[in-house]
Structure 1
Amino acid sequence: MSSIRIGLGVDFHQLVEGREFWLGGVLVPHHKGALGHSDADVLLHAICDAMLGALALGDIGVHFPDTDNTYKNIDSKILLSRCAQLIGEKGYQVVNVDSTLCLEAPKIKPYVPQMQAVIAERLRISVEDVSVKATTTEKMGFVGREEGVMAYATVLLEKYNN
């Protein structure tokens, strides 16, 4: 197995009234929130999938299935920490994260530093090694109609020496 691995993750969640909107481990005020079995944090889920995918360990649905009530409404920061533990058990650590949120509203720029801090803390890396960006779809598709939110994440993993 290579000493350097790259993983790509993507996640989608429907937006609905009456749910809290968690993004990057931060509660973002909005009239809609993401629908899901957990807290539906689309950004953390994409990062988890990227980490797991880099080592061909499946995806978060394999490790934390929505058919298991243990994970009902679970805080996705816990899932992120568990994924970091899983890759650590394989002798790897995260070098950096590059991620993009796709949503029309709300604007997330004010929350990005908090998101970076949460992600960095859970992955035991520097805030400077966590990129969180956002874009709209220019009112096109389900994201543009504010029916859903999506996120992409790429991670670089490196094997560490004990």
Structure 2
Amino acid sequence: MFRVGIGYDVHRLEEGYRLILGGVEIPHEKGLKGHSDADVLVHAICDAILGALALGDIGEHFPDTDERFKGISSLKLLKEVNEKVNSLGYVVHNVDAVVVAQRPKLKPYKELMRENIAKILKIDKNFVSIKATTTERLGFEGREEGISAYAVVLLKEQQGGSQWK
């Protein structure tokens, strides 16, 4: 059995914050503002995984009102989401994601992002696709007010079955 999920996240760009995408710190004059490290890419992937099993969204599992998650690496959140999914009898088969940002250019960092995400999900990096695009200066991403990310995941049932039938 397979399950598909889609995720989306957005955070505001502001001075005084670090820009973290896919667990990679990227040099830039602005960073993403959020309760955690505001890694929109990893947040979108978490939401896609949770959505595939109808488990709600990242805000329900890691609320911004909980001080335990203040400044936390989103890769730690992804690890916890993956462990939850595994405990229910599923594994992530593949991830396809896109980051929408006018700047900075993300090509030099995409391979490390793929490696980080694959390592946490315990899958081969060839099953993790990270793409980047601009909006040709249209919308909030184009005005460099924020960055968004979309993700689609495919979960597959582990051998021995799952608790979700």
Q: State the TM-score, normalized to the length of structure 2.
A: 0.96
1:4, 1:127 → 2: CA distance? 20
1:137 aligned partner: 135
Q: 1:100 — aligned with what?
A: 98
Match of 1:65 among 59, 63, 66: 63
Say what the alpha-carbon RMSD is for the aligned residues.
0.5
**Residue 161 of structure 1: how far off its partner (Å):** 1.1
Q: What are the residue-to-residue correspondences of 1:17-96 with 2, within 5 Å? A: 17-96=15-94
- 2:6 equivalent in structure 1: 8
d(CA) in 2 for partners of 1:62, 1:47: 15
1:101 shift after superposition: 0.2
> For the residues of structure 1 that align with 2:7 and 2:17, how far apart are their CA atoms?
24
In the alignment, structure 2 segments of 5+ residues that lack a partner are 161-165
- Give how far 1:104 is off: 0.4
In structure 2, what is the equivalent of residue 124 of structure 1? 122
Secondary structure at the counterpart of residue 117 of structure 2: helix
Q: In the TM superposition, what is the alpha-carbon distance from 1:10 to its structure 2 partner?
A: 0.2
Q: Within 1, Cα distance between the matches of 2:139 and 2:114?
A: 28
Deviations along 1:41-71, one digit per CA (max 9) or x if unpaired, are 0000000000000000000101000010010
Q: What is the rounded CA distance, in whole Å, between the counterparts of 2:158 and 2:72 in structure 1?
A: 30
Size of the aligned set, in residue pairs, is: 160
Instruction: Provide the residue aligned with 1:112 in structure 2.
Output: 110
SS in 2 for 1:52: helix
Aligned partners of 2:17 and 2:34: how far apart in 1?
10
The percent of aligned pairs where both chains have the same amino acid is 55
Q: SS state of the match for residue 119, structure 1?
A: helix
Equivalent position SS for 1:53: helix
| SS of residue paired to 1:125 | coil
After TM superposition, what 4+ stretches of structure 1 lie above 6 angstroms from structure 2?
Answer: none
Residue identity opposite 2:79 in structure 1: S
Unaligned runs of 5+ in 1: none
3-state SS of 1:29 partner? coil
* SS of residue in 2 equivalent to 1:8: strand
Cα offset, 1:129, TM superposition: 0.4
Q: Determine the C-alpha separation between the residues in 2 that align with 1:84 and 1:52.
A: 9
